């Protein structure tokens, strides 16, 4: 890995011109930046603290914020939409720089589907812009609210990770404002080290202010979907492998309360894009009105549905809810394949706004591990067994297939991931953390990895146990060189890399 960072206005090619604006920092710009004291929390609500949040609207203002932080000798925590479950975009010290107001779609090439976006553009904005033009983002998360910079900084994956890789694989270039205020453009041909380190670099190397990203041509606003019920985890893995060659998307839901022969039982959804001509009226299905999620569920305004879930979000209600979903899945399998709008398939979790509130005041954490295909079955069965032995069972389990990628700190492996949502009861918090430590050891012993966007419980030092040592060393060398004063910091960084 070569070392030097080219500074100033860098261009991979003529068409990257104008990305760097070359304007210096000034106190005048800082005065214009919106700011407030706020409680800033992780998405799962299990961690948070009060802090000063600054919301710049331009590169100039980003630089002004960084200059002010340098003068004050304070750290800056970068934050996008705040959709990371744990402490990846929270900080108990210094400032929070929220990129959300830099949210313009700067360009969209209707010939190629390449979009140029300010860092604060959300996935929701991107798909809404792209779909009426016949494109869909190549990679989306289970929620549409992350910003493109936050998604790139975590190198998010979708239900198609096995097929198209992570979001980093779709990114062509980005602008990064370094700790000293310099702006560099990174791509596979310019500052490629920084390109591969900052994607997945969880906001530790600089502020992404602009991202150029490819989207996917689609010939319909709908996907062809079918469901397969899985008797247990082994069955689900077999189904994934059977479907992998022909599917564009694969996702498994797991009833974590199943035991014995039903350990890891669940439901797999398989989806593929429609070929040209399969949809008789693609213009209509690509319209936003066709995509919007319903505004009510069973007649109730969906903004209130979490209130109905709250009384059952416990160890009595959740086994029943999971059982009824599993039973419904066995019926769904018998249905003919059906068509579903992209947004409905991709953003199922957004159907019930604020569903996390159903978990109560302690919130929730997600424990998502990534395990090579060779050890996945035994490992995930062991995780589920351990949950039952301990009496701490996840209320939601989601299963996906992945493939490796070239980003330095990537979580992805040639294997599977299992995301487990646990309710946090304030009085039993330590017990849950101890449980997650046990699960962590099982995953590490199987050669598995973890994902910073979903973490709150990994003990200090764990990241060095699952990431390749040469990558970590190179990342730390880059961080030391570009950010010698440790300007960019989060609670997660301090927990995993500094303690």
Angle at 152 (CA atoms; ends 404, 41), nearest 5 degrees: 115
User: Beta-carbon neighbour count of residue 486 at 10 Å?
Assistant: 14
Nearer to ligand FAD, 99 or 384 (CB): 99
Smallest distance, ligand FAD to C-beta of residue 92, A: 14
User: What is the distance between the alpha carbons of residues 404 and 392, in angstroms, rounded to a whole number?
Assistant: 31
Smallest distance, ligand FAD to C-beta of residue 236, A: 18
Nearer to ligand FAD, 293 or 349 (CB): 349
Smallest distance, ligand FAD to C-beta of residue 344, A: 15
Collapsing DSSP to helix, strand or coil, 494 comes out as helix
Nearer to ligand FAD, 145 or 434 (CB): 145
- In order of 91, 381, 388, 390, the CA distances from 261 in angstroms are 44, 11, 14, 19
User: Beta-carbon neighbour count of residue 162 at 10 Å?
Assistant: 22
Site of interaction with ligand FAD (CB under 6 A): 43, 78-84, 88-89, 99, 119, 141-143, 146-147, 149-151, 153-154, 156-158, 202-203, 207-208, 349, 453, 490
Nearer to ligand FAD, 147 or 239 (CB): 147
Smallest distance, ligand FAD to C-beta of residue 114, A: 20
Smallest distance, ligand FAD to C-beta of residue 76, A: 9
Stated length of the chain: 499
| Dihedral of alpha carbons 377, 380, 386, 389, sign | negative
Nearer to ligand FAD, 54 or 263 (CB): 54
Q: 260's torsion region: left (phi>0), alpha (psi -120 to 50) or beta?
A: left
User: What is the distance between the alpha carbons of residues 260 and 466, in angstroms, rounded to a whole number?
Assistant: 30
Residue 148 makes CB contacts below 8 A (sequence gap 6+) with 117, 119, 120, 121, 122, 123, 126, 208, 211, 213
Nearer to ligand FAD, 380 or 488 (CB): 488
Collapsing DSSP to helix, strand or coil, 335 comes out as coil
Query: What does residue 35 show for φ and ψ, rounded to 5 degrees?
Result: -145, 155
In 3D space, the residue among 157, 196, 88, 169 whose CA is nearest the CA of residue 411 turns out to be 157
Smallest distance, ligand FAD to C-beta of residue 102, A: 8
Smallest distance, ligand FAD to C-beta of residue 494, A: 12
Nearer to ligand FAD, 12 or 123 (CB): 123
Residue 249 makes CB contacts below 8 A (sequence gap 6+) with 158, 159, 160, 163, 223, 269, 270, 271, 272, 345
Nearer to ligand FAD, 82 or 221 (CB): 82
Residue 310 has what DSSP assignment?
G
Could you tell me if 139 and 170 are in contact, meaning their C-beta atoms sit under 8 angstroms apart?
A: yes
Could you tell me if 358 and 309 are in contact, meaning their C-beta atoms sit under 8 angstroms apart?
A: yes
Smallest distance, ligand FAD to C-beta of residue 168, A: 11
In 3D space, the residue among 430, 432, 448 whose CA is nearest the CA of residue 440 turns out to be 448
User: What is the distance between the alpha carbons of residues 323 and 342, in angstroms, rounded to a whole number?
Assistant: 27
Nearer to ligand FAD, 218 or 398 (CB): 398
Smallest distance, ligand FAD to C-beta of residue 155, A: 8
Nearer to ligand FAD, 39 or 284 (CB): 39
Nearer to ligand FAD, 207 or 250 (CB): 207
Nearer to ligand FAD, 142 or 266 (CB): 142
Smallest distance, ligand FAD to C-beta of residue 194, A: 12
User: Beta-carbon neighbour count of residue 13 at 10 Å?
Assistant: 10
Angle at 89 (CA atoms; ends 87, 95), nearest 5 degrees: 120
User: What is the distance between the alpha carbons of residues 127 and 147, in angstroms, rounded to a whole number?
Assistant: 12
Smallest distance, ligand FAD to C-beta of residue 385, A: 26
Smallest distance, ligand FAD to C-beta of residue 157, A: 4
Give Cα 403 to chain centroid, integer Å: 16
């Amino acid at each position: 890995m070569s070392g030097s960072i080219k500074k100033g206005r860098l261009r991979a090619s003529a068409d990257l011109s104008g990305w760097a604006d070359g304007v210096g920092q000034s106190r005048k710009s800082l005065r214009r930046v919106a700011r407030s004291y706020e409680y800033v929390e992780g998405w799962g609500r299990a961690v948070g603290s009060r802090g000063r949040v600054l919301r710049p609207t331009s590169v100039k203002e980003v630089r002004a914020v960084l200059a002010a932080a340098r003068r004050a000798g304070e750290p800056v925590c970068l934050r996008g939409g705040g959709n990371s479950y744990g402490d990846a975009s929270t900080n108990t010290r210094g400032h929070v720089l929220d990129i959300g107001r830099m949210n313009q779609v700067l360009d969209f090439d209707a010939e190629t589907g390449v979009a140029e976006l300010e860092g604060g553009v959300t996935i929701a904005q991107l798909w809404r812009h792209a779909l009426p033009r016949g494109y869909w983002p190549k990679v989306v998360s289970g929620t549409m609210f992350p910003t493109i910079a936050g998604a790139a900084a975590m190198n998010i994956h979708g239900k198609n990770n096995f097929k198209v890789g992570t979001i980093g694989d779709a990114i062509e270039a980005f602008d990064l404002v370094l700790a000293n205020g310099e702006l560099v453009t990174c791509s596979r041909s310019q500052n490629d080290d920084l390109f591969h380190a900052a994607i997945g670099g969880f906001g530790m190397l600089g502020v992404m202010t602009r991202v150029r990203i490819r989207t996917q041509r689609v010939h319909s606003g709908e996907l062809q979907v079918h469901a397969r019920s899985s008797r247990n985890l082994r069955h689900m893995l077999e189904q994934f492998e059977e479907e992998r060659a022909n599917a564009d998307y694969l996702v498994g839901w797991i009833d974590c309360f199943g035991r014995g022969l039903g350990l890891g039982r669940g439901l797999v959804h398989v989806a593929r894009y429609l070929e040209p001509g399969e949809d008789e009226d693609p213009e209509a299905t690509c319209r936003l009105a066709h995509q919007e999620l319903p505004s009510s569920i069973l007649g109730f305004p969906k903004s209130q549905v979490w209130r109905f879930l709250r009384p059952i979000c416990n160890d009595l209600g959740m086994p029943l809810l999971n059982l009824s979903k599993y039973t419904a899945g066995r019926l769904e399998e018998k249905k003919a394949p059906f068509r579903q709008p992209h947004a409905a398939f991709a953003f199922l979790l957004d159907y019930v706004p604020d569903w996390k509130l159903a978990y109560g005041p302690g919130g929730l954490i997600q424990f998502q591990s990534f395990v090579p295909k060779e050890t996945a079955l035994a490992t995930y069965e062991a995780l589920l067994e351990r949950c039952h032995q301990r009496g701490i069972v996840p209320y939601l389990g989601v299963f996906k297939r992945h493939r490796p990628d070239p980003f330095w700190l990537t979580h992805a492996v040639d294997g599977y991931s299992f995301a487990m949502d646990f309710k946090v009861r304030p009085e039993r918090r330590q017990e849950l953390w101890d449980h997650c430590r046990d699960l962590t050891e099982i995953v590490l012993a199987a050669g598995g990895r973890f994902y910073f966007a979903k973490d709150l419980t990994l003990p200090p030092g764990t990241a060095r146990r699952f990431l390749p040592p040469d990558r970590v060393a190179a990342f730390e060398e880059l961080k030391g060189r570009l950010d010698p004063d440790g300007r960019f910091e989060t609670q997660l960084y301090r927990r995993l890399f500094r303690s």
